[in-house]
Amino acid sequence: MKVIIIKYNAGNVQSVMYALERIGVAYELSDNPETIRAAERIIFPGVGEASTAMKSLRENGLDQLIPTLKQPFLGTCVGMQLLCRSSEENNTDCLGVFDVPILRFPQIKGFKVPQTGWNDIYDYACPLTDGLNSNAFVYYNHGYYAPLCDFTVAKTTYMLEYSAMLQKDNFYAAQFHSEISGDVGQKIFENFLKL
């Protein structure tokens, strides 16, 4: 199976590579549109800031390519946010796969932004969560979130309830870092690779 990790200026690539190696999956790191188009599975990791990440995608024409892809595609953390319509982070236009805005967490006394650490996912109904125990815990590090919407396939709560995972057709997205979420994250990767 040809698995591609998209290479761009916001990727948490090393952790994703290690997660795939742990489950014995060969992969290639690429920013080449033709290589990405030929992949059987695509992983779009992310850490960092939305406008800088989008600029990097535009430089290689990946902003035009990604929404047209038909194979199973997984975006994580900033990768999920970039798959949405827009982000309040520097008022950034994103890829628009999911017609939902990314919003900044409100300032609420007693809550730190960004949310950093372990939190649960619940109410999940998605092939990537098959075999998970109820209320599985995963690792988050983010200051922006996707509100609940028609594409929500898993939820979490930090200050408010929001989308932990999204799905539309072949596009799957997780706000948390699957690659550093222990056995739960590994199961999500394994399920993704079985699609």
Residues with catalytic roles: 77, 177, 179
Which contacts of 27-34 are long-range, i.e. CB under 8 A and separated by 24 or more positions? 27/3, 28/2, 28/3, 28/4, 29/4, 29/5, 30/4, 30/5, 30/6, 31/6, 31/7, 31/60, 31/62, 32/60, 33/60, 33/61, 33/62, 33/65
The sign one gets for the Cα dihedral 176, 177, 180, 185 is positive
